[in-house]
Amino acid sequence: MPGPVLDPVATDNSLPPKAEVVIVGGGIIGVSTALFLAQRGVQVVLCEKGILGGEQSSRNWGWVRVMGRDRREIPLAMAALKIWDTLDARVCGETGFRRSGILYVSENERDIANRDAWLAHARHHGVDSRQIGPDETQSRMAGAITRYKGALFTPSDGRAEPQKAVPAIAAGARRAGAHIVTSCAVRGVERSGGRISAVITEKGRIETATVVLAGGAWSRLFCKGLGIRLPQLKVRNTVLRTAPVDGGPEGAGATATYAYRKRLDGGYTIADGGANLHPIVPDSFAFFREFQPARKAEGEAVQVGLSAQSWRELFEITSVPLDRPGAFERHRILDPRPDPRSALTAFEQARKVFPALRQTAPLQIWAGLIDVTPDAVPVISAAESVPGLTIATGFSGHGFGIGPGAGHLVADLVTGDQPIVDPSHFRLSRFSDGTPLEIAPPV
């Protein structure tokens, strides 16, 4: 199925023979890292096997939030929001970012209790989230005819345009000196004396001592080729966008049956946050034990089943020599078949609440594959077993909003600068050092 159409962005046609840093992956994490490195004067090359932002970075809901984050992510999410405020000026482009507020709508006392529990540990970070009652909830859902019990509301949270953000950030990174090459799969790395000495791409070799892996859902396969055990699986979510309409709500919000986000073009992005599919793949069995606590916590929010991805990954278990094309070249863009039923059901639920939406129609439905970790917290960490490699992946559906902050943190780690936040919560070793994993309760 065709995915969303991104803004056009110019890229480079050839590879330089060497670079200080090579970034693997051109989603929002990769291009943000390239931006912050280039603006520090670092010679950086980004290689993307398909198109910039072609996978989950352009297929997500477009939320930019602190609200509801795992406590370990809150400082990074707050730092990211501050970056979003100045990002358009920094890159001389339009990302679509607006601080328009986000609502988590409460439909029963359990919802209210869950949000009170989150507030209890979030307040000391200085968040402006608060519980609001039925009247204010209805007033902040412009045009709603349904009266809810209340909502958790964060006025400083915002929204941006996934189809605009990655191209705008990439263009800013190139203006700052980054070299960005698309349709250029990185097959693997060469090592000398135990350290990285080069990356091998389908277009040639780049001499480098430092690599950033920001490969999203592909990161597990890349790590496997390096002998790194990265517990990561994929979850599919389907998204619908509508034609422009007047009279609907500003900002973004979510109920148990639908989520919405006002788009810059006047339409809406609609989805069902509880309609997710994990395609059964060989890694489902390899990481069964690690993901069991999360599976129990998610309940019915994530279903398990077979898909085209299931069969495809059966043939990607073994590594391929670096002088031969592999999975990264066979499958340029992950474009999973969407679940129209879930998206259209969510749209109908939203139309019951917002009569204005009855005047518009779906324009497009697409799906994306989200890269998830066992505790739904990303890995932003050096890989101790492969000196010179930094991994930034597993953002578990939170990567778009947190992306600029994550890119800043990765640049800090690579250059040895003072980290924008404490990176210890995102270390890869938490999955192997015997530390009990913390699974955040639902919000």
- 3-state SS string for 267-296: CEEEEEEEEEEEECCHHHHHCHHHHHHHHH
How do residues 230-243 score in pLDDT, each as one tens digit? Answer: 999 999 999 999 99
Which CATH superfamily groups domain 21-431? FAD/NAD(P)-binding domain (3.50.50.60)
- Cα–Cα distance measured from residue 75 to residue 66, given in angstroms and rounded to the nearest whole number: 9
Contacts with 348 (C-beta within 8 Å, 6 or more apart), sequence order: none
Residue where the block lists tokens 């931006």? 35
Span between the terminal Cα atoms of the chain, in Å: 32
H/E/C letters for each residue in 47-114? ECCCCCCCCHHHHCCCEECCCCCCCCCHHHHHHHHHHHHHHHHHHCCCCCCECCCEEEEECCHHHHHH
- Cα–Cα distance measured from residue 145 to residue 353, given in angstroms and rounded to the nearest whole number: 5
Residue 432 CB neighbours (<10 A): 10
Pick from 189, 211, 192: nearest CA to 200: 189
Pick from 165, 202, 179: nearest CA to 46: 179
Written as one letter, the residue type at 21 is V
- Cα–Cα distance measured from residue 129 to residue 140, given in angstroms and rounded to the nearest whole number: 14
What is this structure's pTM?
0.96
Counting as low any pLDDT under 70, the low residues of the chain are: 1-2, 299-300, 311, 314-315, 317
Q: Sketch the domain layout of the chain as residue ranges.
A: 21-431
